[in-house]
Amino acid sequence: MLYEHLGARPRVHDTAVIAPTAVISGDVEIGPGCQVLHGAVITAEGGAITLGEHVIVMENALIRATAANAVHIGSHTLIGTLSSIAGATVGEETFLASGSRLFNGALIGPRCEVRVNAIVLRRAVLPEGTVVPIGWVAVGDPAQLFSPDREAEIAAAQPDLDFPGHVFGVDRDTPDLMVQLTERYGTSLARHAHDVSIDGAHHRQHRA
């Protein structure tokens, strides 16, 4: 399913294949030979998303851009089942395994591997060829790698990221943080009420 969002329409190369249950919304460009499988969601929430050539987006993966952080996925990259990419840049020939998580402002170099359930935190930078082991956490620039039980070290390695401010535009110290955050973000998401379906010539059925 393809949708116009905020006046922008997805642009899908003629050789790309989009499964009928995938959702592509807004300012999204999908390059030659890409495969987007069932249940995947690629949504441009104010920032652009570009997929290079022969990118594979597996079932139920999520790719989301924001006004603050666009998304670029390099050619010949595989995004595994249930993976999530929010406002990150991914180099070519990279493998993002099932359940991996990339957060806003992260920069993944070419030929990296982010293995099953591994996390790349906000603004972390992975040099070319970095491997993040199963379930581990990458943080910082250049990224340091930690097992998940090293929570204190992970926190110490992070710069002052101000997640609510950077991602949602809400002051972390406000006394009603979650009230303001959910209402502000909900208002932004509500703009999807005006999306327009454009399924048709550019929507190719997924090959069985």
Task: Parse the chain into domains and list their residue ranges.
Answer: 2-197
197: which 2 tokens? Answer: 């379906």
For domain 2-197, give the CATH number. Answer: 2.160.10.10
Model-level pTM? 0.88
Residues of the chain with confidence (pLDDT) below 50: 201-208
pLDDT tens-digit series, residues 123-169 = 999 999 999 999 999 999 999 999 999 999 998 887 666 666 666 66
For residue 67, give every residue at least 6 positions away whose Cβ sits within 8 Å of its Cβ, in sequence order, or none.
45, 46, 47
Task: Find all residues with CB under 8 Å of 30, minimum gap 6, and list them.
Answer: 10, 11, 12, 13, 16, 18, 24, 36, 42, 51, 55
